Amino acid sequence: MSSQCLLETKGIYKSFGPTRALVDVNLKINRGEVRGLIGENGSGKSTICSIIAGAQTADEGEMILKGESFNPKGNVDAQMQGISMIVQEAGTISGITVASNIFLGNLKQFTKGGFLSLRKMNQAAKKVLEEIGIPEIDPTALIDTLNFEDRKIVEIARAMYSEPEVLIIDETTTALAQKGRTIIYNTIRKMQEKNKSVLFISHDLEELMKVCNTITVLRDGNFIGTLTKEEMAIDKLRRLMVGRDLSGSYYRADYDGSCDDEVVLEFNQVTTGVNVENFCAKLHKGEILGLGGLSDCGMHEIGRAAFGIDKLLTGNVKLVKEGKNLIITGPEMAIKNKIGYVSKDRDKEALILTASIKDNIVSPSLPLLSKATFISPASEKKMSQEQVKTMEIKCYSDSQYCNELSGGNKQKVVFSKWLANGSEIFILDCPTRGIDVGVKANMYALMYELKKAGKSIIMISEELPELIGMSDRILILKDGVISGEFTRNEVLSEHDIIEYMI
Amino acid sequence: MAEKVLAKEREEEKQRQAELIHQMKRKNRINAIVPFLGLIFIILFFAIVTGGRTVNSSNLINLVNQSYTLIIVCVGAAFVYGYGGMDMSVGYVQGFISVIIAVIAMNHGVPVWMILPISIICGMLISSINGIVSVCTRVPVFVVSLCIMNICKGIVATAVADTDIYMPYSEYSGWNNNVLKAIVLTVIIAAGYYVFEYTQIGKKMKVMGGNITTAKHSGINVTKYTILAYVIIGATVGTVAFFTLTRTGVVTASTGSGLMLDVMTAIVLGGFPLFGGAKAKIRSAVVGAVTVSVLGNGLTIWGLNPNYVDGVKGILFLIIVYISYERKKGEIFN
């Protein structure tokens, strides 16, 4: 490994409104190095990466690339200078072809006399896709015909065609299954072989330790330290990230999978427009029911069905309340009967980003707060401040806007919505997606408390460890039907479950 | 020793954080008063350049009559723009209502006092078509209201094709009364303020303006509240149609024609977010309406050809949107 420095940042500062995202961050990345970057949500990982990739500018500080001062004017400019980034959220543009997505903003090379040569562009796209090892994607296909995973792979192609010196991967693997992961790992290895560098962000500590030579830890925008391969250990990393010892266990400690016999929610022959076929299941009082499988196995649709979001083709979801059976007809009715739903797409579905924490928390509770048509500001304030306090939402006041919060804090706000209105049944779709260990531990503790208080939870998750760690009972789905059922026990392992998924 | 240095750094960091919070709060406060300052500036400006003619008593009464219409409609418009909707049809809906009530009044079929409720109900019915069609067909309400606007425009043009329609003015002159108008105005602003800021209706509409999917997932019946928003603006347009008619006594092809641009300009001038959401406030709509009225009135008295006033408003609208519209910078991929 050559120790020649490829990229260096010196004294980077960045603030968003009153939030200090980065404080004096100094990074030095050598050629041939795969650098991991970890930290809790809001620690500034994504911010430093987007500054390096040119998507944002720093308030203070300088960057040096290959010995020269580096001031990118935007993503495309940064890419032309040798820095590519694969972003966390879906970053493809719908309505255009795969090839157009790959060469987004860089069509000049295929243009002659004002005309774009589609043939040349498609050929070039084909070549890039072959190079990263996925020749089966057709460059002329519309991006919308691809599934989420393949779209992500198209983004990898977009990052790689310019043969970057530094590749930044921002929490991409969390959204990918094995195929996509393999492609990313291969890409990283190739970069390393060519003596180039990779900056890799992930919440998966084991993955980081496997892939990276060195790992840098950030906390609250501060540079905490860089560990070499020899120094890496999961406990040490966690401690550095959180800044204190995480006491006790991560998941619940008991192996008692029993719960009340009383059924609170019943799925009868539920068939949805997508994926799910004749799904039958019962949720009991005080039970944590885990739903697992591959991302398109239908489990997300079941969550939506339980909340009445989508129309069902056949069957129904029955709520048993005070001995009476009620059919779920829509979110309004579901909420009235104390069901809460945490969507897997937090920013697009669960939150109003351009509204305050308070406005978000009270949004499902407005009918409860209304006294003879009047909603008093004091009652709203009381409700939201209670939640901010019990959920320990990090903010300067509950009037702070949600788009200024970190991922973990946003998720706390979403949970608060349903705690505040006294929900009895919680449907949690990927409740810990993109959340760091600190907040994750909080969420698990909260779920356990809810269970103890007799609330019922459906937890839909793509992460087997948390399903095994938290559920009383796990249902595994494959292609829309139940392929396996497991009750809580000590010896249950991922290995036992995986074969039912694929 | 190292501990001490760390503690000191932490203290400094805390102070810096407090400073940033303070700065942002100040910025928010300034943003909130800019529209008021703008209004005061415009009033002073025209008072000076016209040598006080804009602030003498006869013009002030004139101004109240002119701004009266716009303020009332803007209170209704706050609900529509607040939930993220848009209404291009207000002006010609006013024209259409005017035709209906003028015809009814001419035929002396109903008692005089019933004309105002009829006008309001007509407004609610006609305007609600915007919401109903948009919800049922899932055509964006912007397009639907543009069509409704043209339909109403056509109806008015047909009705007045041979001759303008005249109200039996003498029977209604008692309604053209400044005290009555002041009472109606106060009641509408107060009611609008209460409903928009302190009840489920206004709060739910703001949630819809912020994120329509979140609104659905929060149990808000978005179909109902979309239609309701147009019913509310329709009621205000109906009110305005009646009082305008009692003042002018005549319906022509241009009745209500400038209202739509005035409403949109007022909304953005007052600092009301054009696409709704949590920052929507009734007071912004009212301040904006007064500003637009003062501006139009001032420009005319200053000596600008009234035919150019719409042009000036159009340019102003563009400038304000340019300044206030929040763009995301440096983001190509998202």
Residue in chain A lying closest to B273 (CA): A354
Percent of chain B surpassing pLDDT 90 = 51
| Tokens at A394, concatenated | 């990090």
Contacts of B199 in chain A (CB under 8 A): 370, 373-375
> How long is chain A?
502
Q: Which amino acid is at A199?
A: L
Contacts of A349 in chain B (CB under 8 A): 211, 213-214, 217
Contacts of A415 in chain B (CB under 8 A): none
Domain count, chain B: 1
The whole-angstrom distance between B87's CA and the closest CA on chain A is: 23
> What are the angstrom distances between the C-alpha of B219 and each of A10, B3, B76, B90, B260?
49, 51, 24, 30, 32
- In terms of C-beta density within 10 A (0-12 exposed, 13-18 middle, 19 or more buried), how is residue B15 classed? exposed
A174 with A314, same domain: the answer is: no
Please indicate whether residue A28 or residue B190 has the higher confidence score (pLDDT). Answer: B190
> What are the angstrom distances between the C-alpha of A247 and each of A180, A231, A237, A242?
34, 22, 14, 11
Residue in chain A lying closest to B14 (CA): A20
B10 at the A interface (CB within 8 A)? no
The DSSP-derived string for B253-265 is TTTTTTHHHHHHH
Contacts of A363 in chain B (CB under 8 A): 207, 214-215, 218, 220
Q: Above 60 in pLDDT, residue A248?
A: no
> What are the angstrom distances between the C-alpha of B317 and each of A409, B85, B284, B311?
38, 18, 15, 10
Q: Average per-residue pLDDT in chain B?
A: 88
Q: Which of A143-152, A384-393, A409-418 has the weakest average pLDDT? A: A143-152
Tell me how crowded residue A295 is: count the other CB atoms within 10 A of its CB.
Answer: 16
A303 with A226, same domain: the answer is: no
Residues 6 or more apart whose CB falls under 8 angstroms from that of B290 comprise: B39, B67, B71
In a domain, A138, yes or no: yes
Q: What is the pLDDT at residue B333? A: 32
Contacts of A303 in chain B (CB under 8 A): none
In a domain, B334, yes or no: no
Whether B28 contacts B271, CB under 8 Å: no
A376 at the B interface (CB within 8 A)? yes
Residue to substitute from B28, B217, B328, interface A, most A β-carbons within 10 A: B217
B198 at the A interface (CB within 8 A)? yes
User: Residue A93 carries which DSSP code?
Assistant: P
CA distance A477 to A475: 6
The whole-angstrom distance between A333's CA and the closest CA on chain B is: 7
Query: What are the tens digits of pLDDT across the range B54-94?
Result: 888 888 888 888 889 999 999 999 999 999 999 999 999 99
Domain count, chain A: 2
The reply to whether residue B204 touches residue A366, judged by beta carbons under 8 angstroms, is: yes
Tell me how crowded residue B285 is: count the other CB atoms within 10 A of its CB.
Answer: 31
What confidence category does residue B4 fall into, taking pLDDT thresholds of 50, 70 and 90? low
Contacts of B206 in chain A (CB under 8 A): 355, 359
Pairing of strands A19-30, A197-201: unpaired
A151 with A238, same domain: the answer is: yes
| Tokens at B327, concatenated | 């763009």
CA distance B120 to A112: 62
Query: What are the tens digits of pLDDT across the range B213-229?
Result: 999 999 999 999 999 99
Among A242, A274, A305, the domain boundary falls at A242
Q: What is the pLDDT at residue B86? A: 93
What confidence category does residue A307 fall into, taking pLDDT thresholds of 50, 70 and 90? very high
Q: What is the pLDDT at residue B6? A: 65
Q: Taking residues B202-206, what's their average pLDDT?
A: 96
Residue in chain A lying closest to B280 (CA): A355
User: Which candidate from B21, B213, B334 shows the least CB-CB separation from A18?
Assistant: B21
In Å, the largest CA–CA distance within chain A is 75
Q: What is the pLDDT at residue B329? A: 37
B1 at the A interface (CB within 8 A)? no
What confidence category does residue A78 fall into, taking pLDDT thresholds of 50, 70 and 90? confident
Whether A427 contacts A331, CB under 8 Å: no
Among A188, A210, A242, the domain boundary falls at A242
A14 with A115, same domain: the answer is: yes
A160 with A284, same domain: the answer is: no
A–B CB contacts, 8 A cutoff, strictly below: 112
Residue in chain A lying closest to B334 (CA): A91
Q: Taking residues A10-28, what's their average pLDDT?
A: 82
Q: Above 90 in pLDDT, residue A108?
A: no
Whether B98 contacts B166, CB under 8 Å: no
Residue in chain B lying closest to A55 (CA): B330
Residue in chain A lying closest to B194 (CA): A374
CA distance A44 to B327: 23
Contacts of B278 in chain A (CB under 8 A): 352, 354-356, 359
Residues 6 or more apart whose CB falls under 8 angstroms from that of B41 comprise: none
In a domain, B134, yes or no: yes
> What are the angstrom distances between the C-alpha of A271 and each of A276, A426, B174?
5, 21, 66
CATH classification of the domain holding A236: 3.40.50.300
Among A200, A215, A242, the domain boundary falls at A242
| Enclosing domain of residue A467 | 261-338+424-502
CA distance B237 to B188: 12
Whether A410 contacts A348, CB under 8 Å: no
In a domain, A252, yes or no: no
Q: Taking residues A433-449, what's their average pLDDT?
A: 85
| Enclosing domain of residue B159 | 42-322
The reply to whether residue A351 touches residue B203, judged by beta carbons under 8 angstroms, is: no
User: Which candidate from A87, A307, A374 shows the least CB-CB separation from B333?
Assistant: A87
Q: Average per-residue pLDDT in chain A?
A: 87
Which range in A38-47, A203-212, B190-199 is most confidently predicted, on average pLDDT?
B190-199
Torsion of CA A301, A302, A304, A310, to 10 degrees: 70
A235 with A286, same domain: the answer is: no
Q: Above 80 in pLDDT, residue A91?
A: no
Residue in chain B lying closest to A343 (CA): B217
What confidence category does residue A1 fall into, taking pLDDT thresholds of 50, 70 and 90? very low
Show which of residues 296-335 on chain A sit within 8 Å of chain B, judged by CB atoms. 307, 309, 331-332, 334-335
- In terms of C-beta density within 10 A (0-12 exposed, 13-18 middle, 19 or more buried), how is residue A391 classed? buried
Residue to substitute from B218, B224, B328, interface A, most A β-carbons within 10 A: B218
| Tokens at A267, concatenated | 């799925």
In a domain, A395, yes or no: no
B221 at the A interface (CB within 8 A)? yes
- In terms of C-beta density within 10 A (0-12 exposed, 13-18 middle, 19 or more buried), how is residue B113 classed? exposed
The whole-angstrom distance between A253's CA and the closest CA on chain B is: 33
A233 with A279, same domain: the answer is: no
Q: What is the pLDDT at residue A90? A: 61
Q: Above 90 in pLDDT, residue A370?
A: yes
Q: Which of B89, B129, B124, B121 is nearest to B104 (CA)?
A: B121
B199 at the A interface (CB within 8 A)? yes
A109 with A24, same domain: the answer is: yes
Whether A398 contacts A384, CB under 8 Å: yes
The reply to whether residue B334 touches residue A367, judged by beta carbons under 8 angstroms, is: no
What confidence category does residue A2 fall into, taking pLDDT thresholds of 50, 70 and 90? very low
Whether A201 contacts A46, CB under 8 Å: yes
Residues 6 or more apart whose CB falls under 8 angstroms from that of A375 comprise: A366, A369, B198, B199, B200, B203
In a domain, B16, yes or no: no
B190 at the A interface (CB within 8 A)? no
Q: Taking residues B144-152, what's their average pLDDT?
A: 96
A178 with A282, same domain: the answer is: no
The whole-angstrom distance between B217's CA and the closest CA on chain A is: 6
| Tokens at B266, concatenated | 């007022």
